[in-house]
Structure 1
Amino acid sequence: MDDVIRLENIVKVYPPSVIAVDNVSVNFRKGEIHAVVGENGAGKSTLMKVLYGLVPRDAGEIYYQNQPVHFRQAGEAIAAGIGMVHQEILLIPEYTVWENIVLGQEPTRLLGQIDRAKARRLVKGKIDEFQFNLDPDALVGEISVAARQKVEILKLLYRNVSVLILDEPTAVLTPQEIPQLFAELGRLRDDGHTILFISHRLEEVLTLSDRVTVMRRGKMIATVDAKSTTKEELARMMVGRDVVLTSRRAAHSAGGVIFQIDHLSYKDGEGRQRLNDINLSVHAGEIVGVAGVEGNGQFELVNSVVGLIKPSTGKIQVQDKDITNAAILERRKLISFVPQDRGKMGASLNASIMENAIMTHHQLDKRFSLWHGLLLNYAHARRFTDGLEKQFSVSMASKFNPFRSLSGGNQQKVILGRELLLDSVFVLLDQPTRGLDVGSIEYVHEQILKMRQEDRAVLLVSADLEELFLLADRIVVMHRGELVADKPIEETTLEEIGYLMLEGKGKAQ
C-alpha cells in the first residue's frame, strides 16, 4: 500500500524549552484508518496540527503524495486535499445542513448570485455518495450531535479532501451512534480515503483502525497493526507502565441518604422547561452515575445543585439540610464540586497553582487567615499546596507558576485534590475525566472509588458510558430534562442505557 503522507524527523519546540514533538517520523498509507494515541502532552495533537498547517514545525520534512509540502495555514492543507474535523463542532445552528456544507465555497450564477438549487443538489449528491443518512434541508440546530459531526466531515468531502484528520470523533456520541459513524468511516477508507484520528478510547481504536501510532512525551514509541495488539499493550506503551483498565469497584454497603432532590424543575429565561420534576437520592458510600446525551438537562441539574441557577420548583437537601435557596459559599460547606470545564469554572488559569489549590479552603478554614481574615496565611497556604502536590501526585515545577503551565491531567489532579480535601460528605463530579489520557483517567477513577470506600456520597455526571459502568452503583438517565430511568448497575446494560438516552422512558426492553 502506497504512502500518502510521510513525516520525517518532525520537531516542534514551544519557548522556552518545551519539546512538544521530538524527532518524530511516521507514514500514513492511502486507504487506511490510522489512529494516533498517547497521554495528554504526548504530542499527538501538535503533530496533527503541524501536518495541517495550524502550527509551524521547527525541523523535519512533510511529504504529501511524494512531494515536499509546507502548509502555512489550514486553507492550504484543504486545497491540497487534507482536512481536519476538530472536537469542537463549528457550525451555524440557524443554517440548514446544505448551507453549512457549502458555506465559503458556494456555486454561483453568472452575476455572482448563489445558485441555491445547484448547491443543494451537490450536497445531496455527496450525502448519497457516502451514504451519510442526512436531510440536507434540516436545520443544524435541530439535529443530533452525531449528525452535526457528519456535516463537518461532509464539509471536507465537498471540498474533495482525500485525507481526513479527526480529533476525538466519538467523544460526545452515544453507544448507538458510534457503530454508524464507524461504518461510514469504513466506507470512506474503502473508497480510498485516508483517515487519521486522535482518540483516548482504546477499544474503539482497536475496532476502527488498521494501524496505531503510540506517542509518549513527544516521541514516537511505535506503530503497530491494530489486529496484533491489545488495549493493555497500547496503554503500557502510552504510559510506560501497566494500567488497570477494568473495574475495581469492590462490594460496599451503602448507608443513609446524604443527598436528595425532590420534584426539582427549572425553566430558562425564555420559558423553556430544562428540568421537569426531578427526584434523585445518593446514599453514603454510593456512586450514582448520570447518563444522557449532552443538552438533556445535566448542565442545569449540576448548576441547580451548586447554586448557579435557581430552580422554579423543588427542594435540594444535603445531610438533611435544605440548600435550595442557600448562598454558594453555604453550599460549599457541604459539597465538593469538580466542574466539567477546568479553565472556566474549576480554576483561574492565570493565577498561581497555589492560589488555585487553596480556593474555597481559604474561606472555610480559619488556618488560612491572619488578623481576623484580613490577611492570607501564606505559610499555611504553602504547606497545604505542598501536601496536595505529594498526596495527589501532581507534577509541577513550582507552586508559584501559573495554573495554565500544568498539563490537563495535572490541572485535574489539583482541582480533584482541592475538592477532596474539603470536609464534605457529598461530592459532585461533572465530566471529571473529559480530555484526560488513560493514565490520568486511571488515577481519577482510583480517587472516585476511594471516596466511596470513605462513605462519601458521589454523584457522577459523565458522557462516557463505559466510565459509568466501571464506577457507578446505580445509573440514572436524563432525557429532555426528565429522569427516565434509575437502574442498579447489575440490572442493566450499556446498550439499554444508550437506548434510553436516545429514546427516553418506556422504550428499552
Structure 2
Amino acid sequence: MTNNPTLIEMRHIVKVYPPSVLALDDVTVDFRRGEIHSIVGENGAGKSTLMKVLYGLTQANSGEIIYKGEPVHFREPGEAIAAGIGMVHQEIVLIPEYTVWENIVLGVEPVNWLGKIDRQRARQLVKQKIDEFQFNLDPDARVESISVAARQKVEILTLLYRNVEVLILDEPTAVLTPQEIPQLFAELNRLRDGGHTILFISHRLEEVLELSDRITVMRKGKKVDTVPASATTRQELARMMVGRDVIFTTRRKPQPPGEAVLRVENLSLREDHGRVRLNNLNFEVRAGEIVGVAGVEGNGQFELVNTLMGIQKPTSGRIFIRNVDITHFDILQRRQYISFVPQDRGKMGASLVAPLWEDAIMTHHRLNPRFSQWNGLLLNTRFAQQFTRDLIENFSVVAPSPRAPFRTLSGGNQQKVIVGRELLLQSDFVLLDQPTRGLDVGSMEYIHDQILRIRAEGRAVLMISADLEEIFLLSDRILVLYRGQLVGNLPVEQTNPQEVGSLMLEGQVQSS
C-alpha cells in the first residue's frame, strides 16, 4: 500500500457555516488507491464535514479536489456516485418491505425491450455482485427480516453495484456486536485488496488501528497529522485528537451495593398484533450500582426504556422505585423518581431550536418551586439563567451564553447539558439510554466520570449501550436481552465480551 498512487487530493479546503463557524480550516489531505484510510477527531473536529465536501453533500467555500489527476466539483451525491465515490451513512436507509436485490437495484434497474423491469436479470446481477465480493447475503430475503449487520452489507453492495471505487463509511461498527465486526473488517480488507479505497470515520480507536493503513487526525477544523497506523498507538491518537492524555482503563472502584432502588417484576409488553417485545422480565438495580443492558438493536432495549418511562404501557408486570409502585404513573409523575438521558438528544432530550437555558431547566421548572414566582403564574427567569450558568460551569459545557441556541452547540456539549440537567434532579434512579452515542473520546471520558460519580454517591444506574466496551468499563452487572427475554444477568468480573456477544446473537453461549 505504501507505494500506491494518490487517488484523491483535497487541497486547502475551507468550510464556514453561517454566521461564523469555521468547520474546515485550510485542510489538505490525500487518499491513495487501494488503502483503508481512517479519519478521526472529536465531535465538531470537521471529519464528517470533510467527507461531505468530498461526496457533494456540502459545498466548500474554497479549496479544490483532485480526483484521478483531474479537478472535480460534485454539486450533489449523484455526481459523486457517477464518478465512483459513494458514502454509507450511520443511519441505514433501506426499504424494509423490499428484498435485498430490490433495494440494491433501486433506481438503476435493468429493463427489458418493453421498458419494464427485468426482475430475473436484476436478481442475477445482484447475485453476481454478492458472489464477487464474498458477501454472505440471500438476495431474496426481505430487508426487514435480516440483521443490522446484513443491512449494512446491503448498503455497501448498493454502492458496489454502481461500480464505486471509493467507499466512505460513517461509524459502520456502531450497531454491530463483537462477533460481527471481524466479518465486516474481512470484507473491507478484501475490497481494499481488490483496489477499492475505503475512507473510514470512527470513534473507536482500537478498531481504527486494527483496520487502517493510514490515519488522519483532525481537531477544531484543522488537520493535525496523517500517520501510518503501524506507527502510532491509541493513546497517541487520543492525545492528538483532544490535546491531552485520555484514560482508557476502568476507574470503577469496588463498592458494596445497597438496597434495591429499581425493581422490575414479570414485565411484559405485547403489541396490538400480538408480537412480544418484552417477555416476563425480572431484575433489580441497587443503590451504588451500575447495571448495563446489552443486546443487538431491536431486541427489546428501546421498549424497556419506554415502559420504564411510561411512554408505553406494559401488558403485564410491575415497576417499583424505592418500593413505590410507579406502574400506572404518567410520565410527569415518574420524573419525580427518575433521571433520564434518552438516546436521541435532538428528538427526546431537548428542543434544538430553543435557547440553551430553556433546555437546561426542563423538568426542574416543574419540580423545583424556586423556578416559579407569583404563586406559580410566572417563570423566574433570573433564577433559571443562574441555574443554567451554574450547570455550564459545573459540567464543563462550552457555550457562549445561556441564551445561545441549543443547536449551535457541538454534540458533546449538547450531551453534557442533558446529562448535567438530569443528574442535578438528584433522583435515586438514573436511566441512561446510549449516553455517549456519537461522542468523541474526550466527551465520552467526561460522561463516564459523571456516571461513576453518581454511582459513588449511592445512586442506582441502569445504562443501555450498544458499545460493549463501555458496558464492561462502567458496569457492575450486565443484563443481556435477546428477543425481548432476559438471557443473562452477569457480574462483570465473571464474564467477557465473547460470552456476552454470544448471548446477544443467539440467546445462549456458543460452544467453541
TM-score, L = length of structure 1: 0.99
Give the alignment partner of residue 404 of structure 1, picking from 389, 398, 407: 407
CA displacement at 1:324 relative to structure 2: 0.2
Partner of 1:121: 124
Q: State the alpha-carbon separation in 1 of the partners of residues 408 and 511 from structure 2.
A: 46
Q: State the alpha-carbon separation in 2 of the partners of residues 506 and 54 from structure 1.
A: 43
Instruction: State the identity as a percent.
Output: 68
**In the alignment, is the contact (CA less than 8 A) between 1:275 and 1:301 conserved in 2?**
yes
AA partner of residue 7 (structure 1): M
**In the alignment, is the contact (CA less than 8 A) between 1:500 and 1:508 conserved in 2?**
no
Deviations 1:422-475 (A, max 9, x none): 021100000000011110000000000001100000000000000000000000
Give the alignment partner of residue 177 of structure 1, picking from 173, 176, 180: 180
Partner of 2:389: 386
Partner of 2:288: 285
Q: Which region of structure 1 is more displaced relative to structure 2, 395-404 or 181-190?
A: 395-404
Partner-residue secondary structure (3-state), 1:10? strand
CA displacement at 1:15 relative to structure 2: 1.0
Partner of 1:261: 264
**In the alignment, is the contact (CA less than 8 A) between 1:266 and 1:274 conserved in 2?**
yes
Q: State the alpha-carbon separation in 1 of the partners of residues 487 and 345 from structure 2.
A: 29
Name the CA shift for 1:438/1:506 in 2 (closer, same or farther; >3 Å): closer
Give the alignment partner of residue 372 of structure 1, picking from 371, 375, 387: 375
CA displacement at 1:506 relative to structure 2: 6.0
Q: State the alpha-carbon separation in 2 of the partners of residues 424 and 505 from structure 1.
A: 35
Partner of 1:226: 229
CA displacement at 1:66 relative to structure 2: 0.6
**In the alignment, is the contact (CA less than 8 A) between 2:392 and 2:417 conserved in 1?**
yes
Q: State the alpha-carbon separation in 1 of the partners of residues 186 and 285 from structure 2.
A: 39
Partner of 1:134: 137
CA displacement at 1:352 relative to structure 2: 1.1
CA displacement at 1:227 relative to structure 2: 0.7
Partner of 2:35: 32
Q: State the alpha-carbon separation in 1 of the partners of residues 78 and 331 from structure 2.
A: 46
CA displacement at 1:269 relative to structure 2: 2.7
Q: State the alpha-carbon separation in 1 of the partners of residues 426 and 125 from structure 2.
A: 61
Give the alignment partner of residue 205 of structure 1, picking from 191, 205, 208: 208
Partner-residue secondary structure (3-state), 2:158? helix
Q: State the alpha-carbon separation in 2 of the partners of residues 391 and 401 from structure 1.
A: 18
Q: Which runs of 5+ in 1 are unaligned?
A: none
Partner of 2:320: 317
CA displacement at 1:505 relative to structure 2: 3.4
CA displacement at 1:113 relative to structure 2: 1.0
Partner-residue secondary structure (3-state), 2:328? coil
CA displacement at 1:370 relative to structure 2: 0.6
Partner of 1:90: 93
Partner of 1:2: 5
CA displacement at 1:379 relative to structure 2: 1.4
Deviations 1:52-84 (A, max 9, x none): 011011111100001100000101000000000
Partner-residue secondary structure (3-state), 1:458? strand
* Alpha-carbon RMSD: 0.8
Q: State the alpha-carbon separation in 1 of the partners of residues 509 and 107 from structure 2.
A: 44
AA partner of residue 414 (structure 2): Q
**In the alignment, is the contact (CA less than 8 A) between 2:294 and 2:468 conserved in 1?**
yes
Partner of 2:446: 443
**In the alignment, is the contact (CA less than 8 A) between 2:247 and 2:445 conserved in 1?**
yes
Partner-residue secondary structure (3-state), 2:48? helix
**In the alignment, is the contact (CA less than 8 A) between 1:291 and 1:476 conserved in 2?**
yes
AA partner of residue 392 (structure 1): F
Number of residue equivalences: 509
CA displacement at 1:329 relative to structure 2: 1.5
CA displacement at 1:252 relative to structure 2: 1.1
Partner of 1:216: 219
Partner of 1:14: 17
Q: State the alpha-carbon separation in 2 of the partners of residues 347 and 156 from structure 1.
A: 35
Task: Say whether 1:336 aligns with 2:351.
Answer: no
Deviations 1:88-130 (A, max 9, x none): 1110111110111011001111121111111111110110010
Deviations 1:114-161 (A, max 9, x none): 111111111101100100010011001100000000000001100000
Partner of 1:56: 59
AA partner of residue 228 (structure 1): A
Name the CA shift for 1:264/1:507 in 2 (closer, same or farther; >3 Å): farther
AA partner of residue 283 (structure 2): L
Q: Which region of structure 1 is more displaced relative to structure 2, 245-254 or 175-184?
A: 245-254
Partner of 1:72: 75
Q: Which region of structure 1 is more displaced relative to structure 2, 107-116 or 137-146?
A: 107-116
Task: Say whether 1:251 aligns with 2:250.
Answer: no
Q: State the alpha-carbon separation in 2 of the partners of residues 77 and 375 from structure 1.
A: 54
TM-score, L = length of structure 2: 0.99
Q: Which region of structure 1 is more displaced relative to structure 2, 328-337 or 188-197?
A: 328-337
Partner-residue secondary structure (3-state), 1:495? helix
Give the alignment partner of residue 422 of structure 2, picking from 419, 422, 432: 419
Give the alignment partner of residue 146 of structure 1, picking from 111, 133, 149: 149
AA partner of residue 366 (structure 1): P
Task: Say whether 1:164 aligns with 2:164.
Answer: no
Deviations 1:237-282 (A, max 9, x none): 0001111111111111111111110000011232211100000100
AA partner of residue 347 (structure 1): A
AA partner of residue 21 (structure 1): L
Partner of 2:115: 112
**In the alignment, is the contact (CA less than 8 A) between 2:277 and 2:303 conserved in 1?**
yes
Q: Which runs of 5+ in 2 are unaligned?
A: none
Q: State the alpha-carbon separation in 2 of the partners of residues 400 and 254 from structure 1.
A: 41
Q: State the alpha-carbon separation in 2 of the partners of residues 69 and 351 from structure 1.
A: 39
AA partner of residue 55 (structure 2): Y
Partner of 2:46: 43
Partner-residue secondary structure (3-state), 2:12? strand
Deviations 1:190-209 (A, max 9, x none): 00000001000000000001
Q: State the alpha-carbon separation in 2 of the partners of residues 116 and 68 from structure 1.
A: 38
Partner-residue secondary structure (3-state), 2:115? coil
Partner of 1:496: 499
AA partner of residue 12 (structure 1): K
Partner of 1:481: 484
Q: State the alpha-carbon separation in 2 of the partners of residues 355 and 269 from structure 1.
A: 37
CA displacement at 1:508 relative to structure 2: 6.0
